[in-house]
Amino acid sequence: MNEMPLHRLPRAAARRLIEQLYAPDQRFARCFQRYWLEIMQHSPEHAERLTHDELEASKAALLADLDDPHVHTLGVTNDLGYEPVALYAVRPLAAHPVGREIDRALGPARERRGLCHAVAVRDDHAGLRALRRVFVGVARRAVEADLDVLYFYSSDHRLAGVYRHFGMEFPDHLAIPGSRHLVGQYQVHRADNRARVAHTAAQLGLVDLPVAA
Report domain extents, the chain.
Answer: 2-203
Task: For residue range 169-208, list pLDDT tens digits in order.
Answer: 999 888 888 889 999 999 999 999 999 999 999 999 886 5
pLDDT in tens, 20-29: 999 999 999 9
Length of the chain: 213
Domain 2-203 in CATH 3.40.630.30: yes
Question: How large is the average pLDDT for residues 9-13?
Answer: 97
Buried b vs exposed e over 8-42: b needs ≥16 C-beta within 10 Å? Answer: bbeeebbeebbebbbeeebbbbebbbbbbbebeeb
Express each pLDDT in 37-83 by its tens digit. 999 999 999 999 999 999 999 999 999 999 999 999 999 998 888 99
